[in-house]
């Protein structure tokens, strides 16, 4: 059952081939058996999942089921879930039981999904390898010695190892697309504002965006359908109509204009990854698409811009974790200052502290203009690059990451090298554009991700372009050895 996509599972549930309780039990058994080596889950909610499955079965019997009714998924532990620990991968929230559900959680519940638990992640979504989690590394299902990517590493690994039919993720600088690429699944970061951020613990508010992580583009369309939409509780959510994402999946790609930014194929790109990307482009040409070279001249500024904007916002967003009202509090604080210093000092990990320090510095009196304000300006330039590009092409393609999954511990000593892993994904966040990563031809048994970037609110187009590729190829159906 676990090899099936959501679409296939939904058909099986409807046809009565298996029940949601059976399906949920099957995934729970796989988690029990496999997750010891992968560590994709921080929390499993077996009892709750089976109860939700039973409700779903009632709906299926009554003929009252939607496409996601009874489908077991996992929520990234950044989404607040009422009555369930919501840790954000941090010691700071190890004792935090959320009193409310995030909008994404509410919407997926309404769509009838079964939640198996909460997925491991980099602490407060800060990381590209899932090595900053308080709950330990996540191991890449394709190679136990390698990272799954981050920050949605647990979500990606859970789907890749088929311990869940789908997962939710969040993407601030590539945190859905990069782990999707390294774990060989399909991950979509929608347009900024497409999905509500309410109840999603903030890292960098102007960049954070939730999205689905699935085996296929077709499944991603179903998940996005349930997650997207305006939310009056999030002022930055878009009051923009939500189309039927499944309706256009099979549209012809004849005449599609694909832009290849020359900056994404330069130095630093692994040769084998380049070969895989080129092979994928050949498939698109075969489908009638036209491939043209374009330029995004300010690409080199994306990483430095991001590492001013994101830390600046996070330094403020994480101020609420002060030991006063919820979360970690140090033992026997001497006074107020001691309470703040030790609670935060003891509960935040090194990467979180590093970014809070960078962000605090960038916003300080006398430095604001040189860093934060300048970063806002370069951010505009980056957005303008894309605006011009989309006057020429329908979709932009390139590698999702410079190389396949790296080894655990390989980059932990050098933050800058680690940051460069997001060099192709960050620009879409800065511009607020939708981006998707999906598996193409692997390199030495490791998955490689092709990234698609679309214009604002062009999620349907991205899913269509990805789905057509997946109709022609089988890379998305590969399952790591020993896990099938």
Binding residues for other proteins, rule: CB under 8 A, are 79-80, 86, 88, 93, 96, 98-100, 102, 197-202, 204-206, 232-236, 312-313, 315-316, 318-322, 324-327, 336, 340, 360, 363-365, 368, 372
Residues 183 and 159: beta-carbon distance below 8 Å: yes
Closer of 202 and 269 to other proteins (Cβ)? 202
Element of type H or E holding 32: helix 20-38
Beta strands 166-171 and 72-76 are: parallel
Closer of 242 and 363 to other proteins (Cβ)? 363
Structure tokens given for 230: 């305006």
Q: CA-to-CA distance for 166 and 214, rounded, in angstroms?
A: 5
Minimum Å gap between C-beta 95 and other proteins is 12
Q: Which of 20, 115, 151, 196 is catalytic?
A: 151
Minimum Å gap between C-beta 99 and other proteins is 6
Beta carbons within 8 Å of 16's beta carbon, 6+ residues apart: none
Of the candidates 168, 87, 400, 389, the one whose C-alpha atom is nearest the C-alpha of residue 259 is 389
Q: Is 76 a catalytic residue?
A: yes
Q: Which of 90, 129, 152, 175 is catalytic?
A: 175
Minimum Å gap between C-beta 343 and other proteins is 11
Q: CA-to-CA distance for 51 and 63, rounded, in angstroms?
A: 19
Closer of 96 and 386 to other proteins (Cβ)? 96
C-alpha dist (Å) from residue 393 to 254, 279, 293, 384, 462:
13, 20, 10, 14, 13
Q: CA-to-CA distance for 189 and 177, rounded, in angstroms?
A: 7
Tell how far CA 208 is from the center of its chain: 10
Q: Is 175 a catalytic residue?
A: yes
Q: Is 248 a catalytic residue?
A: no
Closer of 344 and 467 to other proteins (Cβ)? 344
What is the 8-class DSSP label of residue 195?
Answer: B
Closer of 83 and 232 to other proteins (Cβ)? 232
Minimum Å gap between C-beta 427 and other proteins is 18
Minimum Å gap between C-beta 72 and other proteins is 23
Q: Give the residue numbers annotated as catalytic, written as ranges.
A: 76, 151, 175
């Amino acid at each position: 059952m676990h090899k099936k996509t959501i679409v296939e599972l939904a058909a099986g549930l409807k046809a009565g081939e298996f029940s949601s309780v059976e399906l949920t039990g099957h995934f729970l058994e796989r988690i029990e058996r496999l997750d010891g080596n992968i560590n994709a889950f921080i929390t499993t909610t077996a009892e709750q999942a089976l109860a939700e499955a039973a409700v779903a079965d009632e709906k299926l019997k009554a003929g009252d089921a939607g496409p996601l009714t009874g489908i077991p998924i996992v929520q990234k532990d950044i989404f607040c879930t009422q009555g369930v620990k919501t840790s954000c991968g941090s010691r700071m929230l190890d004792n935090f039981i959320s009193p409310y559900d995030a909008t994404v959680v509410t919407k997926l519940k309404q769509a009838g999904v079964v939640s198996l638990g909460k997925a491991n992640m980099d602490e407060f979504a800060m990381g590209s390898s899932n090595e900053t989690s308080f709950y330990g590394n996540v191991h890449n299902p394709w190679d136990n010695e390698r990272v799954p990517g981050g920050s949605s590493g647990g979500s990606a690994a859970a789907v890749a190892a088929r311990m869940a039919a789908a997962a939710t993720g969040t993407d601030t600088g590539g945190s859905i697309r990069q782990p999707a690429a390294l774990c060989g699944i399909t991950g979509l970061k929608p347009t900024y504002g497409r999905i509500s951020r309410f109840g999603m613990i903030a890292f960098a508010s102007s960049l954070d965006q939730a999205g689905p992580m699935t085996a296929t583009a077709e499944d991603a369309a179903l998940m996005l359908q349930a997650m997207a939409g305006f939310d009056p509780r999030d002022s930055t959510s878009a009051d923009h109509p939500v189309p039927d994402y499944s309706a256009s999946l099979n549209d012809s790609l004849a005449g599609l204009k694909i832009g290849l930014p020359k900056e994404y194929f330069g130095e630093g790109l692994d040769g084998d990854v380049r070969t895989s990307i080129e092979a994928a482009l050949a498939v698109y040409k075969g489908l009638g698409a036209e491939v043209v070279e374009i330029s995004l001249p300010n690409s080199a500024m994306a990483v430095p811009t991001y590492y001013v904007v994101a830390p600046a916002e996070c330094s403020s967003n994480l101020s609420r974790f002060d030991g006063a009202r919820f979360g970690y509090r140090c033992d026997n604080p001497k006074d107020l200052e001691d309470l703040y210093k030790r609670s935060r000092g003891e509960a935040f990990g090194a990467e979180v502290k590093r970014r809070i320090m960078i962000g605090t510095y960038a916003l300080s009196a006398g430095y604001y203009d040189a860093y934060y304000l300048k970063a806002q300006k370069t951010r505009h330039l980056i957005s303008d690059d894309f605006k011009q590009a989309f006057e020429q092409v329908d979709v932009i393609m390139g590698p999702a990451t410079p190389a396949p999954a790296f080894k655990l511990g390989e980059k932990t000593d050098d933050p800058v090298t680690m940051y460069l892993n997001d060099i192709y994904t960050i620009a879409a966040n800065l511009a607020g554009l939708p981006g998707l990563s999906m598996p193409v031809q692997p390199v030495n048994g490791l998955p490689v991700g092709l990234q698609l970037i679309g214009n604002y609110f062009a999620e349907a187009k991205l899913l269509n372009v990805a789905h057509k590729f997946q109709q022609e190829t089988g890379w998305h159906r590969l399952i790591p050895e020993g896990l099938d």
